[in-house]
Amino acid sequence: MDKALTSSKLHCLCPQDGFILEQLQGEFPAAYLLLHPFLQPRTLPLASFTPEHYPSRSQIVADCQPVSWQSVVAGLGLPDIAAIDIALGTLSLSLRQEFCRDDYAQQLVQYCEQQGLIPPDNGYLPDICYASWLDMLAGDNDHLWCGDEFGEDCLPITLDELSGDGDTLAPYPHARFFSADGEVMLCTHWDRYYSLLAGTPDRLQPFTRFEGFYCQPDTYVRWSRPSLHAGA
């Protein structure tokens, strides 16, 4: 394992507001937003998905099926996936009142109850995608780089050290993960329902089999909101 890798990219922060590509400070030319999927448990009771009794990562992987945002949009008859993001933001009280849509939120709650779905979590890599995303990020290597959310520290860490259960096995909360060569970053905004993958288009392409979309120059961190209110 190369413990002496030096790259300015390792100090790149997860964008917190404004235009995503602009916030990447020119370190990464492209970015792909990986939407955190809904979960459909087969045998785990829905009542167990609470902070006190939340199933372990291994239980979720063994028992749950990921459900796409697009399928929820189709089932609800909402206009697009942005409506799902607004509904989730309304429910989590993370939107300013003028951007909230109580109607979307109520429809989503009722649909999840009827279909036996668990809404996405925010702030961390989703358990159901955790291993596959990190494995893909590592590629042919057995390790990654893991940095704190402030861009101050970045340490090499093996995939074995990151495997298993727990809220996170990374040494930092809201960690930033980098490929072994430091050329691809995977991070999660603390209150958004997506993870951000940044790198060159050819390095991001394999991840497009997971639901999401490429960032455009005018894609904001809070991507579902009207563009006039980027910083709100």
Work out the mean pLDDT of the chain and round it to a whole number.
90
Instruction: Please give the pLDDT value at position 37.
Output: 98
pTM equals: 0.91
Question: Where is average pLDDT lowest: 3-7, 105-109, 134-138, 191-195?
Answer: 3-7
Give how far the C-alpha of residue 190 lies from the chain's centroid of Cα atoms, to the nearest Å: 9
Average confidence (pLDDT) over 143-161: 90
Q: Residue 46 — pLDDT band, cuts 50, 70, 90? A: very high
pLDDT for 173: 75
Is pLDDT of 131 > 90?
yes
Confidence grade of residue 228 (pLDDT, cut at 50, 70, 90): very low
pLDDT digits (tens, 9 = 90+) for 9-24: 888 999 998 999 999 9
Range 129-150 average pLDDT: 94
Please tell me the predicted confidence (pLDDT) of residue 77: 94
Q: Is the pLDDT of residue 232 over 80?
A: no
Dihedral sign for Cα 195, 199, 201, 202, please: negative
**What per-residue confidence (pLDDT) applies to 152?**
84
Using pLDDT thresholds of 50, 70 and 90, give the confidence band for residue 164.
low
Alpha helices in the chain (DSSP H): 20-23, 57-63, 69-76, 81-91, 102-115, 127-138, 159-162, 201-204
Domain residue limits, the chain: 8-35+123-226, 54-115
CA distances from 139 to 166, 172, 205 (A): 23, 22, 13
pLDDT for residue 127 is more than 70: yes
pLDDT exceeds cutoff 60 at 168: no
pLDDT tens across 69-121, in order?
A: 999 999 999 999 999 999 999 999 888 888 889 999 999 999 999 999 999 99
- Quick one: pLDDT band at residue 221, thresholds 50, 70, 90? very high
Q: Is 44 exposed, middle or buried (CB count within 10 Å of its CB: 0-12, 13-18, 19+)? A: middle
